[in-house]
């Protein structure tokens, strides 16, 4: 497995994918395969960010 990605890098990647998703929605429609795939990618990145943030909060409490 690769090196963990920083929260800042995750936020930048989330914003980049979100912009791609919006553009795809405008060009291809909200229900297009491409737009939905990008939406799933945004969700996965947001989940990774939230998990990372939760882990940092947990580790700082101890």
Domains, the chain: 10-61 (4.10.280)
Per residue in 46-55, pLDDT tens?
Answer: 999 999 888 7
Q: Mean pLDDT throughout 16-26?
A: 98
Q: What is the pTM of this model?
A: 0.82
CA nearest to 25, candidates 16, 34, 17: 34
| CB 49 within 8 Å of CB 60 | no
pLDDT at 53: 85
Is residue 21 exposed (0-12), middle (13-18) or buried (19+ Cβ within 10 Å)?
buried
């Amino acid at each position: 497995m690769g090196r963990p990605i920083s929260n800042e890098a995750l936020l930048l990647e989330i914003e980049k994918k979100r912009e791609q998703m919006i553009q795809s929605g405008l060009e291809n429609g909200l229900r297009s395969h491409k737009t939905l795939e990008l939406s799933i990618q945004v969700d996965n990145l947001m989940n990774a960010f939230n998990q990372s943030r939760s882990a940092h909060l947990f580790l700082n409490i101890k």
